[in-house]
Amino acid sequence: MSAISLVPIGNVSEDLLTRLAKRIGEIFRVPVFLQALHFDPSMMFDSYRNQYDSTMFLSLLVKNSEETEGKILGVTEYDLFVPVLTFVFGEAQLSGKAAVVSSFRLRPEYYGLPVDEILLESRFEKEAIHELGHTFGLIHCNNASCVMHSSTYAEDIDLKSNSLCSSCLVQLASGDLVTAKSPP
Amino acid sequence: MNKPDIGILIVDDEFSVRDSLSRWFKEDGYRVAAAENAAEALKKMQEQPWDITLVDIKMPGMSGLELQRRIKEIDKNIVVIIITAYASVESAVQALKEGAYDYVTKPVDPDDLSHLIQNAIKQRALAAENILLRTKIEELSKTGEFIGESPQMKKVMELVRTVAQTDATVMIRGESGTGKELVARAIHNNSNRRYFPLIPVNCGSIPEGLLESELFGHEKGAFTGAQYRRKGKFEMANGGTIFFDEIGNLDMKLQVDLLRVIEAKQFTRLGGEQVISVDFRVICATNKNLEKVVEEGTFREDLYYRLNVFSIFLPPLRERRSDLPLLAQHFLQQYSLSMSKNITAISPEALDLLIRYDWPGNVRELQNAIERAMVVGKPPCIRVEDLPFQLNSRPKLPEADSLAEVEKEHIINILDRTSWNITRAAEILKIDRVTLYNKIEKYGLRK
């Protein structure tokens, strides 16, 4: 895979994106670019749930980036959901092209806690790496400190590191990964 | 179970639900498939096994509830999780009553779903472990099966199979060493009580004073030395079978107690007041002539009738000599394995001696004789000199006095040895077949 493109959707800090791009580049050892794509987020909005459909998000990302080589990570502050779940921190096409990650439920203030930008950025970085890991074919890892460990609570994210464990690194390097592609 | 070994089948008519759940589980490393209706789900069920299935309760065509029934017909141990909208919780409750593991209401919290699946996997693993353990128990319970092709033993096996399916009290009669406990175990192992214990009680070997405490248990301080509360054999047999060996040796007081417990299925521990209810089946065995001891007044008539509901008589080994080669070979293989000794056969002369011997101690004596022969014998086979009774004692001859009785017993022996092969028996007896038939009729012999 030649590169990773970060696509901000909505109001995402450029500083944050720059730092995120640097860390992602270190992990996956590929060039990381910031890319602007123009599409209307309201298309993904579900007024009944007051949330944004992340699966639709992925489809739009892929549709609007046909010219783009490599992987694409949508980065947003919108609250994401998939129809059967109450929310998701992010979603990815397993062994596919696109992933999306949201900061909405990563913010400590969402849970009634004081604002903590450092904690938010740490969580955001881990979830971004996690979802991109899925696009490279990595599945959830049993190692609790690996960034590919499944997290269903924001506090779960704090328990794991922002790195791949040796087992996931070996799989990533050797290409011994899940190849089945989920339908978009 | 490793995650890739766990198969999850998602059945929902909404593409978005199938798609999002498929992604969710694939990211977890499970083997996942999705079906948009019941027909497709049943097809996938036939194609390969699944461990967990998530079924939408409301689908066009066959409902989730009906699909659950059909899925359970294919694999009764599959874990079914119902997916429902808030409005159809009542149906979900119905599904739970019909064996669904749990239900989720859309949309579900990711953490709840994650825990639900982890618990469902544990449930599936437990069910699989349960099946494995049952298979192992059944394998274990097969050990010690009857060996024998003689008509008498075939009849015994048929009776065992018939009575095992019932809860009837069984009385096993037969000489010492004929395998009465083996029959009791076979009845228990073939009954619905086989997953519960079979508790043997040897009425002849436990001192009278102790038998009461052995049977009923006792409370702490019930008597000197009773430092702890102890369960008795009746309590231990709860759900299973209690086997009274040598029932004819039970003393009169305990005969009264036993009759009461068998009828009421209730008792109290020694020194206790709490009435304990138990559920057990009774099998008993005796080598005594119980009718005679009833007549003599040392065995209660009412207990005799209560125990003698279904009677199985085990023939002595001398009356089924045709089984001897099979039995001898069985014990030979058994000891060859346990002693790691490469003796694999019995010489024709030794086998002939075994067949001619009368075996007053029956199968147990034969087993001991083979064991001894395996100890003293040398590969490749057991010889006459390895047998315990050939040097100083001749095989027992018929005890009959008249010539006709001796002839009758001899003909019976030869017919047993040849499994009633008339041609072969006539050859051994050195008479023609017609003469043999005439003698069989004359003496009223039957196979």
For residues B152-164, average pLDDT: 90
Domain that holds residue A92: 4-174
- Tell which wins on pLDDT, B369 or B393: B369
Q: Which of A50, A84, A171 is the best mutation test for B, with the most CBs of B within 10 A?
A: A84
Partner B contacted by A85 (CB < 8 A): yes
Task: Give the CATH number, domain containing residue A104.
Answer: 3.40.390.10
Burial class (CB in 10 A: 0-12, 13-18, 19+), A179: exposed
Structure tokens given for B431: 């008479």
- pLDDT on residue B145: 65
pLDDT tens digits, residue range B7-33?
999 999 999 889 989 989 999 899 999
Strands of B102-105's sheet in order across: B31-35, B7-11, B52-56, B79-84, B102-105
Half-sphere CA count of B79, side-chain side, radius 13 A: 22
Cross-strand pairs, A90: A101
Q: Backbone phi, then psi, for B97, in 5-degree steps?
A: -65, -30
Question: Using an 8 Å Cβ cutoff, are B53 and B70 in contact?
Answer: no
Cross-strand pairs, A73: A6, A99
Partner B contacted by A169 (CB < 8 A): no
- pLDDT on residue B388: 80
CA distance B79 to B101: 6
CA distance B36 to B252: 73
For residues B318-339, average pLDDT: 89
Q: Backbone phi, then psi, for B313, in 5-degree steps?
A: -105, 125
Give domain status of residue A184, yes or no.
Answer: no
Partner A contacted by B105 (CB < 8 A): no
Work out the angle between the directed axes of helices B110-142 and B180-189 (0-180°, nearest 10): 150
Q: Which of B22, B29, B110 has its CB closest to that of A152?
A: B110
- pLDDT on residue B400: 63
Which chain A residue's Cα is nearest to B17? A84
Burial class (CB in 10 A: 0-12, 13-18, 19+), B392: exposed
- Give B365's contacts (C-beta < 8 A, 6+ positions apart): B177, B317, B359
For residues B207-211, average pLDDT: 75
Give domain status of residue A181, yes or no.
Answer: no
pLDDT tens digits, residue range A151-167?
998 999 999 999 999 99
Q: How far is CA A180 from CA A1, A65, A74, B372, in A?
A: 17, 22, 22, 66
B16–A83 CB contact, under 8 Å: yes
Partner B contacted by A18 (CB < 8 A): no
- Give B198's contacts (C-beta < 8 A, 6+ positions apart): B184, B185, B188, B189, B237, B240, B241, B242, B243
- pLDDT on residue B247: 92
| Alpha-carbon dihedral sign for residues B93, B94, B95, B101 | positive
A153–B106 CB contact, under 8 Å: no
Give domain status of residue A183, yes or no.
Answer: no
Has A131 been annotated as catalytic? yes
B27–A150 CB contact, under 8 Å: yes
- pLDDT on residue A103: 94
Give domain status of residue A180, yes or no.
Answer: no
- pLDDT on residue B249: 87
Give the ipTM of the model, two decimals please: 0.81
Chain B residues near residue A152 by CB distance under 8 angstroms:
109-111, 114
CA distance A116 to A177: 36
Average pLDDT, chain B: 86
The residue ranges of chain A whose pLDDT is under 70 are: 1, 176-184
One-letter amino acid for residue A146 of the chain: C
Task: Delineate the domains of chain B, giving CATH numbers in brackets.
Answer: 3-137 (3.40.50.2300), 151-315 (3.40.50.300), 318-386 (1.10.8.60), 403-442 (1.10.10)
CA distance B79 to B71: 10
pLDDT tens digits, residue range B52-64?
999 998 888 888 8
Partner B contacted by A94 (CB < 8 A): yes
Task: Calculate how close chain A gets to B25, using CA atoms only, in Å.
Answer: 10
B114–A82 CB contact, under 8 Å: no
Q: Which of A91, A121, A127, A131 is catalytic?
A: A131
- Sorting pLDDT into bands at 50, 70 and 90, what band is B130? confident
Q: Which of B3, B29, B107 has its CB closest to that of A83?
A: B107
Partner B contacted by A153 (CB < 8 A): yes
Give domain status of residue A75, yes or no.
Answer: yes
One-letter amino acid for residue B6 of the chain: I
Give domain status of residue A145, yes or no.
Answer: yes
Partner A contacted by B26 (CB < 8 A): yes
Task: Calculate how close chain A gets to B32, using CA atoms only, in Å.
Answer: 11
Buried b (16+ CB within 10 A) or exposed e, B50-64: bbbbbbbbbbeeebb
Which chain A residue's Cα is nearest to B105? A84
The total number of structural domains in chain A stands at 1
CA distance A101 to A183: 19
B27–A140 CB contact, under 8 Å: yes
Chain A residues near residue B20 by CB distance under 8 angstroms:
55, 82-85
Task: Calculate how close chain A gets to B367, using CA atoms only, in Å.
Answer: 56
- Percent of chain B, pLDDT > 90? 29
- pLDDT on residue A121: 94
Cross-strand pairs, A99: A73, A92
Structure tokens given for B422: 């008339």
Which chain A residue's Cα is nearest to B2? A142
Task: Calculate how close chain A gets to B29, using CA atoms only, in Å.
Answer: 6
Q: Which of A55, A88, A134 has its CB closest to that of B16?
A: A55
- pLDDT on residue B141: 55
| DSSP-assigned states of every residue in B267-314 | EE-BT---EEE---EEEEEESS-HHHHHHHTSS-HHHHHHHTTEEEEE
CA distance A102 to A124: 8
CA distance B56 to B343: 65
B27–A183 CB contact, under 8 Å: no
